[in-house]
Structure 1
Amino acid sequence: MLELFASVNNRIYVLLTFKVLLFMSFVHQLWNLDRPIPFAVWPLVGALALNDFIRGRYGLLSYRKRSAFVYSMAASMFILAALNLLLPSIGISALIQLILIELIIFGDRLIPLLVGLDGMAYVLPDLVSFPLGDQLFNDVINFAGFLVVGLLFRTIIAEKTRTERLYSELQDANRKLQLYSSMVQELTITKERTRIAQEMHDSIGHSLVALGMNLEYAYQTVDQSPERTKEVLGKTLLISKEGMASLRKAVDTLNPTNKIDHLRVALNELFSNFDPTTGVGFELELDSSIEEQPSKIKDCLLKTVREALTNGIRHGGATRFHIRIVKSKEGIYMQIRNNGQVSHSLDKSYGLLGMEKRITALGGQMMIHLNPEFAIEVRLPVVSGKTELNSMDKGGICLD
């Protein structure tokens, strides 16, 4: 039953149906009345019908025009009061109660003045009778009971309407949440692909450069020094295995960053890929206090050095590298210099862009100098204390 009254339009149609039936019953009683009818009754009946028709026809029941609704309701109550006074006890009280229902259900708030006016129209014949009888008390009780029932019904309808509105809002929010979830998933996948691609470029690219240099040396010395060539080929085999291990790490999405316990050891292992036979030399100045930094910091430093070596050898033909990493109150400072060929212009390659992303993700800066020799300078914030370390582990993301 409540489903029928949940919609405003349904309530209007039901109310209009009852109005028509009650009005036809009222007119039928007037037509068959066996006593004379005052002249003013028929004009009042016509005015009541016209007023109610206009209020329903132009959407006044749905409160689109508040002032017109109030004036129309007041006019109907005055007309019904006059009809109830002229012809009491012929069914006009039912029309007055129906006006009260219309006011309760279709008003956005209950207007006490209109409720009082409707109640006055309902008990008007009892008020003008003399002496006042028990009927007045009975009519007041009946009207009050009808008002309470109407208010309860209004509350039920309002609660159901509110529930449906909240359910609709919940559905909209759920659709938006699903859309956002899909977008986050796509962004996560894209970010992970970028991370793996960067890791593959950095690690595999470094291994391939080292492999190429060792194989070239082996090719040149295979006739003159077979034993030395065998030694270099063994080194090349080891580098290839390390490259395969790096590849596995690159596609391991469950291990976003490699844990580095000792940065100096990791850097020396990196340098060892370029055996002195390749003609590449390295100088390392490393502040021991750097080892106290989080693994994410040391991981970014290591990968930056690795990419700088790869780019310097591949693009600049560098044979000497100087790496300096120190820590001060201002932060961590790293400089990587090489003796490779320097171009007057520099286009940032995929590797350089990856280096910059890793450093800026940790709140640092990277600068490139071309004169007098090619140099990369990196500045990272110092992390000290347990609170800052936890904050770095949660918020700082090193884009691999």
Structure 2
Amino acid sequence: MRSALGSTAALAVIIAALLFAPPSARPDTPLDNGLALTPVLGWNDWNAFGCAVDDALIRETADAMVSSGMAAAGYEYVTIDDCWSLRTRDDDGDLVADPVRFPAGMKALADYVHGKGLKIGIYSSAGLTTCAGYPASLGHEVRDATLWASWGIDYLKYDNCGNTGGTPGEERFAAMRDALVATGRPIVFAVCNWGVDSVRVWGPSTGNSWRTTGDITDDWTTVMAILDAQPAWAARSRPGAWNDPDMLEVGNGLTDTEARAHFSLWALLNAPLLAGNDLRSMTEGTRTTLTNTEVVAVDQDWGGRQGTRIADHGDQEVWAKPMSDGSTAVVLLNRADTAATVSTTAGALGLPAAPAYSVRDLWAHTAEPSAGAVTAEVPAHGAAMVRVSTSTTRPGEL
């Protein structure tokens, strides 16, 4: 349940001080594989397709990532989720790509994706079976990592299903971490253990990202429920090691207004931005949302701390993230079923006192001067996203 933070000036000052203070020394060390120094940008087939994945889908998606402008906006990983293999390993103990779904084999598919200037990801689980019942990698970490590296895999989503033996998560995921490193190939390691088993403690030293909650679905209620869990994780995030509130549902069941709010908030959270829609047939509204480079830039910028909620007025909230240039990215969120005014101030955002401020609307791509007020009329289930910085242009001046 969300806590009501109130709106007093004193509380705003305390919250801002906590948000914008330099991160304290942390007992854990990020995974030192040199990867994901900014959150991963890409696509995963699961949200839109489930087990209906094959060679044609992945090739066509790689094509669409380029032709839609997503690659130019920074997206690069095309990831195959569950159900890609046969139901049994071969006589040597190797996983085998389903020859009907992937007739050319995974190496040829990886070569195609790489030929587009993109990278390719694959899926397994830290158990005996994947979530869909296919063979997984517990006890086969070195063999599987070596196979994926030989195919040219660049990213692994590693799930938490099939752990029938009760082996602790830290041990199971660390085994795959070490196996990936031993291949010598740079493979981003995405820990998908749903925020359980104390991953908040060991996640940063194990994966380049780790899930903070259960699975997302394409409805506003679930998106908001996942959002509510994120403030408790904010201090764990840093370059090379990111909190993961799960993949994007932009272009699936959300309205365009909801999708824009969802995308704004995930960017503010420094989340991996993994589109989960059909890139081949997305609407112009969906494409525009996913390729908003000003919002993507917020996700890719590390200002010392992940964004978090700094004010909660019931259905109206303020979320903020310090940026490396001294500005602050802000999401003014309206969770209600009717439109509402959502406001904050430069002082509450932790910005220094100044004669004026510039408030840039990251969706309208316009900037306005302000004496310190930051306010917007926000539609139902919507959000405004701005970037606030000090300015020498006072309100009313040309």
Please state which band the TM-score falls in when normalised by the shorter chain. under 0.3
TM-score normalised by L of structure 2: 0.21
Flag the structure with higher strand content.
Answer: 2
Flag the structure with higher helix content.
Answer: 1
Higher relative contact order (CA 8 A, sep 6+): 2
Higher-Rg structure is 1
TM-score normalised by L of structure 1: 0.21
